[in-house]
């Protein structure tokens, strides 16, 4: 078995009659933190949805853990350890924090370990523990993002797909969320991070892909992308 | 005053049955926003299947105690109805999950007709006298000799309904399956991302509603002492109205709506004659007074109008409070 955990081969996805993703190749090795950056509408979220089986592929294949998982429904992939934290966090607003976490662990059967994991994520997010009996809808945006990550962690994923975790958050919260992402990566979880905030993403990632109008235009080590003149001009702007 | 108490008892009994049926409508609506108009027919099938079992068992020598016969009949009707409920969803509604909303609605009405006709073929078009395996014993509620009573059957219906409602609430609010049900209701796509097999949860919801319907069918037929292949139609519509009254998609709302609907119907039927008696107006017209000497019951509407109340309530709710008593205000959510 190779070191590659997730591989997209010539993946194209049409969305509402538009070719949103036009045949991209992308690889993530075990233990890597890879980011996918690009402007709004570049096809980043569509790519993630395609990986998770939420959107059908027009062409191409998706391999996960050495197996072809093209077109498998989302719930099966979670059971294989591939979890997505969706854009906009995807809270169950009327469910309590405890219940949201229970749902995160839905695919698992090892109850005693689940209880330990709840304590583990609460250690990571003490804020959530204080409010465990409250409904998720009462949390602030940042807290909801924390809960979304915590909930995804409850499935004990081998790979986490994060869609715009910084979106709509105050700068201080963004920092906290990214610290958490690094913590999760430290635990050995492979991460594919989709972000509009290119600087932030490239700072934490090992490697990066740049998407433009449905195509991957640049790929490489995060540190070299960070110093690539084209990237600097297009995405980092004044961050000189 | 005795009329009031008696109609209240009748209303609560009827309301318990409506509440159990309404729960089936509201659970399905809550999870896939579909009005399963064939649900009333599932109630009817429950009553019919139990009827056949009761007749078979009672005819087989009658060695079994009455309560055992009723229990076996109900426990046979439950799995049959669960399979029917499951099949309705699997065969008819699931292929239409992404279709415009009108398509599954029309399908539901079609299924209702199909199920009625299947029942007609099996159980004939005649009203079937429901065997009263349990002898009705009235208990007096007041000191007056011909005062209000409550029967053992009524107590049984009310008691069993309370137990089922409590059980359902425990299931929905205290178990992993219940949390998953609520998660799918709120956001099916994200529920899928949690590893929840949405289709299984939806199937289970239909089966659960059908199980309740089966018991409701046996209760209703036992109460009125008759079963008929069309009995599910009106019962279903009234229970649906009850679910709307309480706020469709809301479990507590279905229970409250069912109970209120039963009471409105019973009290309405009990008082409509009295309230529309033209002889109250004798003072206005001599001709009227003359007539009322001979017949003091010049009532415009009789208790045969009892079925009207449910629909008057439905219309009023839809006009003045479409979200129902306990329903959340409908807001635009992405």
Q: Is pLDDT at B285 greater than 70 in this prediction?
A: yes
B2-320 CATH fold = ABC transporter involved in vitamin B12 uptake, BtuC (1.10.3470)
Average pLDDT over residues B166-182: 95
Cβ B225 vs Cβ B6: under 8 Å:
no
A70-74, B214-218, B285-289: which range is least confident on average?
A: B285-289
> Token pair of B218, please?
């046996």
Q: Which of A105, A146, A102 is nearest to A128 (CA)?
A: A146
Alpha-carbon gap, residue B18 to B39, rounded angstroms: 12
Give percent of chain B above pLDDT 90: 74
Residue A240's pLDDT is what?
44
pLDDT computed for residue A189 by the predictor = 94
CA angle centred on A227, ends A223 and A231, rounded to 5°: 105
Range from A3-7, A120-124, B151-155 carrying the lowest mean pLDDT = A120-124
| Model confidence at B235: pLDDT above 60 | yes
Q: Under a CB-based contact definition with an 8 Å cutoff, are residues B220 and B51 in contact?
A: no
CA distance B157 to B319: 32
Task: Indicate if the pLDDT at residue A237 is higher than 80.
Answer: no
- State the ipTM, two decimals: 0.85
Rounded-to-integer distance, Cα B262 and Cα B244, Å? 14
Instruction: Quote the pLDDT of residue B299.
Output: 81
Are residues A178 and A166 in contact, defined by beta-carbon separation less than 8 angstroms? Answer: yes
Residue-level pLDDT at B95: 95
- The answer to whether the CB of B194 falls within 8 A of the CB of B183 is yes
CA atoms within 13 A on the CB side of B160: 22
Find the CB nearest A78 among B176, B186, B193: B193
Give all domains of chain A, ordered by start, each with its CATH number.
4-235 (3.40.50.300)
Q: Which range has the worst mean pLDDT, A29-43, A129-143, B142-156, B275-289?
A: B275-289
Cβ contact A92–B183 (<8 Å): yes
Q: Distance between CA B118 and CA B304 in Å, rounded?
A: 29
* pLDDT in the model for residue A41: 85
Contact A96, A134 (CB under 8 A): yes
The residues near B275 (Cβ < 8 Å, ≥ 6 apart) are none
The answer to whether B34 and B176 have CB atoms below 8 angstroms apart is: no
The pLDDT of residue B188 is above 60: yes
* Phi, psi (deg, nearest 5) at residue B126: -85, 150
Instruction: Give the 3-state secondary structure of residue B211.
Output: helix
pLDDT recorded at residue A2: 61
Residue A103 with chain B: CB contacts under 8 Å: 179-180, 183, 191, 194, 196
Other C-beta atoms within 10 Å of A222: how many? 18
pLDDT score for A233 = 82
DSSP state of B325: S
Q: Name the pLDDT band for A123 (thresholds 50, 70, 90).
A: confident
Nearest-by-CA chain A residue for B174: A99
**Tens digit of each residue's pLDDT (9 = 90 or more) over A89-110:** 889 999 999 999 999 999 888 8
Residue A235 clears pLDDT 80, i.e. is over it: no
Per-residue pLDDT band for A239 (boundaries 50, 70, 90) equals very low
Contact B194 A79 (CB under 8 A): no
Which of B194, B196, B250 is the mutation pick for testing A, counting most A CBs within 10 A? B194
Name the nearest CA neighbour of B96 among B40, B88, B143.
B88
Q: Dihedral of CA B255/B257/B260/B263: which sign?
A: negative
Please give the structure tokens belonging to residue B25: 């409508």
What pLDDT is attached to residue B262? Answer: 96
Query: In a 10 Å sphere around its CB, with 0-12 CB exposed, 13-18 middle and 19+ buried, how is residue A144 labelled?
Result: buried
Phi, psi of B296 (to 5 degrees): -75, 5
Q: Comparing B104-108, B228-232, B289-293, which segment has the lowest mean pLDDT? A: B289-293
CA A1 from chain centre, in angstroms, equals: 24
How far, in Å, CA of A164 to CA of B94, rounded?
33
What pLDDT sits at residue A180? 87
B60-79: pLDDT as tens digits: 766 788 889 999 999 999 99
Average pLDDT over residues B88-102: 94
**Å between A148 CA and nearest CA of chain B:** 11
Q: How confident is the model at residue B334 (pLDDT cuts 50, 70, 90)?
A: very low
Mean pLDDT value across residues B169-174 = 95
pLDDT computed for residue A176 by the predictor = 85
pLDDT tier for residue B1 given thresholds of 50, 70 and 90: low
Model confidence at B332: pLDDT above 60: no
Cβ atoms < 10 Å from Cβ of B21 = 32
The C-alpha atoms of residue B29 and residue B110 are separated, in whole angstroms, by: 18
In chain B, where are the structural domains located? 2-320
A-contacting residues in B 145-204 (Cβ below 8 Å): 176, 179-180, 182-183, 186-187, 189-198
- Would the pLDDT of A40 be above 90? no
Backbone angles phi, psi at A146, to 5 degrees: -60, -45
Buried b (16+ CB within 10 A) or exposed e, A69-98: bbebebbebbebbbbbbbbbbbbbbebbbb
Mean pLDDT of B140-165: 91
Contact A33, A53 (CB under 8 A): no
The residue of chain A with its CA nearest to that of B334 is A88
Measure the CA–CA gap between A104 and A187, rounded to whole angstroms: 18
In this structure, what token pair is assigned to residue B5? 């108490």
CA B273, CA B271: separation in Å to the nearest integer? 5
* Residue A84 to residue B193, Cβ atoms within 8 A: yes
> What pLDDT sits at residue B61?
65
What mean pLDDT do residues A202-227 have?
93
Partners of residue A11 on adjacent β-strands: A24
Average confidence (pLDDT) over B253-263:
96
Q: What is the pLDDT of residue B144?
A: 80
């Amino acid at each position: 078995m190779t070191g590659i955990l997730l591989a997209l081969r010539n993946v194209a996805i049409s969305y509402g009659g538009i070719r949103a993703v036009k045949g991209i190749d992308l690889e993530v090795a075990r233990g890597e933190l890879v980011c996918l950056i690009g402007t709004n509408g570049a096809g980043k979220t569509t790519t993630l949805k395609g990986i998770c089986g939420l959107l059908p592929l027009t062409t191409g294949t998706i391999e996960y853990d050495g197996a072809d998982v093209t077109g498998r429904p989302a719930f099966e992939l979670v059971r294989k350890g591939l979890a997505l934290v969706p854009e906009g966090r995807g809270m169950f607003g009327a469910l309590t924090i405890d219940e949201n976490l229970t749902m995160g662990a839905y695919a698992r059967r090892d109850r005693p370990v689940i209880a330990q994991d709840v304590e583990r994520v609460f250690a990571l997010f003490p804020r959530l523990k204080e409010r465990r009996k409250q409904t998720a809808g009462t949390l602030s945006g940042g807290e909801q993002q924390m809960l979304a990550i915590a909930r995804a962690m409850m499935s004990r994923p081998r790979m986490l797909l994060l869609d715009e975790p910084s979106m709509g958050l105050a700068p201080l919260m963004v920092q906290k969320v990214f610290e958490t992402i690094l913590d999760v990566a430290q635990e050995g979880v492979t991460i594919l991070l989709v972000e509009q905030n290119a600087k932030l993403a490239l700072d934490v990632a090992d490697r990066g892909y740049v998407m433009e109008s449905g195509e991957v235009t640049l790929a490489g080590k995060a540190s070299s992308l960070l110093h690539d003149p084209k990237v600097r001009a297009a995405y980092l702007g004044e961050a000189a | 005053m005795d009329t009031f108490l008696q109609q209240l008892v009748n209303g609560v009994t009827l309301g318990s049955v409506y509440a159990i049926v309404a729960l089936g409508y509201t659970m399905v609506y809550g999870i896939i926003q579909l009005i399963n108009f064939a649900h009333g027919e599932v109630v009817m099938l429950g009553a019919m299947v139990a009827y056949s079992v009761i007749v078979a068992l009672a005819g087989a020598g009658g060695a079994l105690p009455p309560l055992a016969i009723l229990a076996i009949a109900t426990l046979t009707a439950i799995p049959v109805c669960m399979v029917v409920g499951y099949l309705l969803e699997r065969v008819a509604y699931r292929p239409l999950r992404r279709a415009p909303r009108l398509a599954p609605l029309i399908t539901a009405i079609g299924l209702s007709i199909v199920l009625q006709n299947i029942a007609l073929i099996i159980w004939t078009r005649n009203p079937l006298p429901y065997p009263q395996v349990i002898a009705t014993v009235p208990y007096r509620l007041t000191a007056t000799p011909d005062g209000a009573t409550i029967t053992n059957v009524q107590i049984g219906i009310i008691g069993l309904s309370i137990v089922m409602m409590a059980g359902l609430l425990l299931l929905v609010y205290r178990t992993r399956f219940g949390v998953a049900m609520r998660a799918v209701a709120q956001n099916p796509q994200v529920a899928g991302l949690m590893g929840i097999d949405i289709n299984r949860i939806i199937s289970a919801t239909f089966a659960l509603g059908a199980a309740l319907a089966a018991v409701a069918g046996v209760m209703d037929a036992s109460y009125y002492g008759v079963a008929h292949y069309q009995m599910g139609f009106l019962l279903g519509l009234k229970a649906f109205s009850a679910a709307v009254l309480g706020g469709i998609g809301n479990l507590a709302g279905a229970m409250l709506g069912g109970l209120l609907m039963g009471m409105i119907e019973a009290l309405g039927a009990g008082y409509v004659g009295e309230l529309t008696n033209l002889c109250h107006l004798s003072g206005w017209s001599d001709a009227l007074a003359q007539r009322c000497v001979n017949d003091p019951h010049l009532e415009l509407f009789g208790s045969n109008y009892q079925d009207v109340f449910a629909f008057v309530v439905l219309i009023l709710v839809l006009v003045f409070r479409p979200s129902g008593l306990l329903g959340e205000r409908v807001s635009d959510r992405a």
